[in-house]
Structures are given as structure tokens and as C-alpha cells.
Amino acid sequence: MTKLREDIRNVAIIAHVDHGKTTLVDELLKQSDTLSARAHLDDRAMDSNDLEKERGITILAKNTAVKYKDKHINILDTPGHADFGGEVERIMKMVDGVVLVVDAYEGTMPQTRFVLKKALDQGLTPIVVVNKIDKPSARPEEVVDEVLELLIELGADEEQLEFPVVYASAINGTSSLSDDLETQEHTMEPLFETIIDHIPAPVDNSDEPLQFQVSLLDYNDFVGRIGIGRVFRGTIKVGDSVTLSKLDGTKQNFRVTKLFGFFGLDRVEIQEAKAGDLIAVSGMDDIFVGETVTPSDHIDPLPILHIDEPTLQMTFLVNNSPFAGREGKWVTSRKVEERLQSELQTDVSLRIDPTDSPDRWIVSGRGELHLSILIETMRREGYELQVSRPEVIEREIDGVRSEPFERVQIDTPEEYQGSIIQALSERKGNMLDMVNTGNGQVRLIFLVPARGLIGFSTEFLSMTRGYGIMNHTFDQYMPMIHEQIGGRSRGALVSIDTGKTTTYAIMGVEERGTIFVNPGTEVYEGMIIGEHSRENDLTVNVTKAKQMTNVRSANKDQTNVIKTPRILTLEESIEFMADDEYLEITPESIRLRKQILNKAEREKANKKKKG
């Protein structure tokens, strides 16, 4: 009979962005026997990175562990966004079950679908938590039915379809096994007990030869690379001499210098770990995701883990604009390259390829969000750089040029569905499904080429006045559509000279389009200061000062009011960019610019291109 480690449970938490997963984990920590009564827990303690806290999303997988009675429950927080799907797949290898958190009103969402599919494919046992049960608009019964339909659609087996349900309000710290709000009690016990009863305990084969596989990477300056993963078999001790089976088939011997276990939000040093434990190992300089650690006399690596391929690429360049070096701490190509290389230490879905110039690199990632988060992080750390417009990565599949397609789910008020359907069909989207979800809302499902979605989210928000919700995840590579898709339909307003913008000059050009800069902003020749109302670019003077005369009108100057300019965010700027433009990014500013700054040279280059 198989021996089990009844003292341990390993689970992953899956949820769509905003459905309350991180808050739920915080509650489990507070209500378990893990934290001392004195320990103060920040809200959303699991989201440690500033960007995660601001955007309310989980970017990196994290582990925490709670003690409940005599059980040690390892909880892995998974990214909900498909751009970080590479992490998700590997987390599923480390756990024996998943807790699916679903909003009691919104129900199942496409990002949950993506992560859940990976969990079911691994044969993991699901538990469903219907969260936000205290919302006045909660519809728990229908949401549980939606989860069941989704599991059937994703090919769940009969055991997986017999999932238990816990109803909770994570923000209030309450839960129960009934969907009746009256039964909610201030405890997470129903969820703890459900995890212990339903999630299988790991097999205890700790007397067999060691197999430890790295699923996630961390890095710190003191010990270098840290491999996080699960002990699938055997025992590992500090001081052991072991062999690392590398991805390229080579073998490396090393000594285990440090082992860490997880307790609460902390890593604690441990002396040994056994089959079923989730641990972190240091002492190997170039350990990588998917590699296996085994005893030197019994080398038996596990199958290599799949890592999602990048679908989108951008060129990163050293900042060479007229304002380069003014605002950033790190501006040289050596510094930018070092920073990009260090990102590769932990982000395995990222690729960085050199080009024939030492000042530019091709950076490939899983989507716009993946790359824009890297850019924003670098900017906050004091780097200056420039990036080009994102492009999808094409592939040759069975001799056919193919491009990535995304599955898009849109929830919108009915009145906007016509314009959405038209906009996505213009971007070569194919509608798969349309369902009226009640209350004047409709849900549309499309399959759209990924390049058709570059720059679509801003248009979508204005089209639905902010009431529409759009989610998309990578679906598959399909034969290339040989047509222009998406892209900007209007030209840019480009500054003709360098100086400070004036209210007077902006007033003179604002009827030509939408202005992106405030009066008093420093601009340079070739910098984009707005969007033209027509499809061609227009060079304008926004630094002109008003001629002073002796004659003053009593009230004329007071009536000079300009429209509020539209200040673009980083994502909006990336989406706005055309092929002949760059985005300049510094710790203080985001500036759109033409690649060729001088108007005459630009026109010459355009003629050449057309000729």
C-alpha cells in the first residue's frame, strides 16, 4: 500500500484578476496557527511588488505556508494573467490540488479558464471557493453551475466534476459550506477542513533516491540563484553532494549549501527535506527551471518542464533623444544590458537577443502586459531607454507561416455590441459565441490574431465608455493572415522645434487633433505632441510665444482656455506607437517621438520607402 505524508498538503490558488485570491490567502494566514498574535499583516501581503499592489494583479508566483492543527499547508499563489502563463504550468507540477476562487457575481472568466485547463490536464483535484458572497448582486447557484459547465468544457474527469464548494467573503474573513448568507461565520475553518479532506496528501517515498525539480527561480545578491521546487522522491540534506541534470543534457556536481522551507510569508532555513516538501535550494550558480537534482550515483532526471514560448517582441534601445541622460541614473548600453540579463535570472518566459548594434536588443515576452511591466520596473529603478512598437512573433509550422491567435472574452452592455463586433471583425476577429447574460449585458467570445489586439484596449474602453470588460489569453498559432491588421488610423502631431510649449501655441493647433502635452512642457524637434485628426502626420509649432504689443484688451487674454490635454499612460503610449516611432522612457517622463527627428530627413526616408 502506498505510504502518504498526511502532515502535508500542497495546493495552488487560481483566480481571475480581482476575484479576491490574494485577500483570501491573507485571511488564511491570519486565521491559521502560523502568525503570532503580534505579527501585523499588510493588506494583500502576498503581492510584495509595488506594481502588483498598484495594478491589483499577481505577476510572480509566490509561495506561503500555513499551519492548521498539525498539518502544514503549502499554498502557491498563481498569476491570473495569461501573460504569465509559463509560471502557471510549472506551479501545477508542484501541487496536488487547486483552490479555484470565483467572484459570486462575475462568475468564471477567461483567465481562470487558461489556468484551470493547465490544472485539469495535470489531473489535479479542484476545490471551488465562491468569494464575495456578501455582495448584494451575488448569484452563487448560477456561478457554481458556470464552474461545472466550464470544467465539462475543459475536459474534466468524473472525479474532478465532484468538486466541493466553500462560500466565503475573504474581505470579512467569513466562510461556510452553504450559500445561505446567514450561515457565514468569522472563520476559515470550512476551507481548511475541505483542503485537508479533499486534496490528496503527497506520496511518501522518502526512502528512495532523491528527485528534486526546479519549477521557479529566485535570485538574491548574497547566495545568487535560488531554485524553488518540489521534492518528488527521496530526501535532501544540507551538505549532500548531488548532481544537477541540465536542460542541454550535461551534468553538474555540487554541494547543497543551504535549504529553505516556507512558513507564513518567510523562508526559513532547514537542514533536510523529504518527498512532498516544497523547498528552495541554493549553491548552484546556473540552475534553471525544469532541471532535476539527483544523487550522483543514481542520476534519473524528471521530464523537462514546458515553458510557454514568447508571442510578442519589441526592440529595446539606449536612449539617444536630445533629452537623453537628463533624468535617469542608468543610461549606458552596458547598464541596460546588465539589467535585462538580470531579468533573465528569474523570468523564464522572457528572451533577449542581441542585434548587430551594441545599443539595441530584441526583447520577447508573452504579451503587452508582460513587456510593459518590465519597462515600468526598469523605469522606477532609474533606467532610461527607448522601445519600438511591439510585433508578434511569427513561426513556420509544417511549412506554413503562422501567427499567434488569442481567445477574447468581452462582457459589455448590449448597446455597444454592434460597434465591438464591427471593430473586431475589421481586425480579422472571428466570433465564436454570443450569450445574453441578463440585465442588458452580453458576453461575446472571439478568436483574434494577436497583432489585431495590439492597441485595441484603449479603443475598446472609449467605445464602451469604460463599461466593457475585455479579457484575452493565447489560444494557438494559426496560418498567417496576409493583410494589414489594426494599427493606428490617424497620424501624429509632431513638434517642429525644441523649447517649452506655450498655451498660445497649443491653442493654435488644438483644432488639428488631440494634444498630449501640457503648456510649459519641454519638447524637442521630432517629438510627438498629439494625434492628428487625419491619417497623415503633421508638423506643428507648439513653442511659439505670443507677440507682445502695447495695446491690451481688457478681457481677451482671460478667455484663452485650452482643452485638457490627454496624457497617455505607458500602456497607451505603447499602443499608440507606429512603426516609424519610438517611445522614450525615463524615471520622470514618457515621450513619443519619431525615429528620424528632422522633418526633411523623415520625408526623404518616406519617399525612399514608397519608391
DSSP letter string, 169-220: ETTTTEEESSS-GGG-BS--HHHHHHHHHHSPPPB--TTSPPEEEEEEEEEE
Flag whether 131 is marked binding.
Answer: yes
Flag whether 40 is marked binding.
Answer: no
| Helices (runs of H) and strands (runs of E) counted in the chain | 15, 35
Cα dihedral across residues 575, 581, 582, 588: positive or negative: negative
Flag whether 19 is marked binding.
Answer: yes
Flag whether 22 is marked binding.
Answer: yes
CB atoms within 10 A of CB 195: 23
Flag whether 20 is marked binding.
Answer: yes
> CA-CA distance, 472 to 455, in Å (whole number)?
13
Burial 529-549 (b: 16+ CB within 10 A, else e): bbbbeeeebbbbebbbeeeee
Sheet containing 492-495, strands listed edge to edge, beginning at the edge strand earlier in sequence: 513-515, 528-532, 492-495, 538-540
Burial 17-49 (b: 16+ CB within 10 A, else e): bebbbbbbbbbbbebbebbeeeeeeeebbbbee
DSSP letter string, 82-127: GGGHHHHHHHHHH-SEEEEEEETTTB--HHHHHHHHHHHHTTPEEE
Flag whether 50 is marked binding.
Answer: no
Flag whether 132 is marked binding.
Answer: yes
Residue 471, C-beta contacts closer than 8 angstroms, at least 6 positions apart: 16, 109, 110, 111, 408, 409, 410
> CA-CA distance, 429 to 444, in Å (whole number)?
11
CB atoms within 10 A of CB 361: 22
> CA-CA distance, 385 to 363, in Å (whole number)?
13
Residue 62 three-state SS: strand
Instruction: Give me 569's grid cell.
Output: 499612460
> CA-CA distance, 127 to 107, in Å (whole number)?
15
Flag whether 437 is marked binding.
Answer: no
Amino acid identity at 343: E
CB atoms within 10 A of CB 332: 13
* Kind plus residue range of the DSSP H or E element containing 604: helix 599-610
Query: CA dist 218 to 285, 345, 456, 566, Å?
Result: 12, 7, 34, 39
> CA-CA distance, 313 to 608, in Å (whole number)?
26
Taking Cα atoms as reference points, which of 337, 374, 340, 345 lies closest to residue 51? 374
Instruction: Give me 602's grid cell.
Output: 523623415
Taking Cα atoms as reference points, which of 400, 396, 456, 469 lies closest to residue 428? 456
Longest alpha-carbon distance in the chain: 101
Q: What is the number of alpha carbons within 13 Å of residue 60 lying toward its C-beta?
A: 22
Binding positions are 18-23, 131-134
Binding positions for GTP are 18-23, 131-134
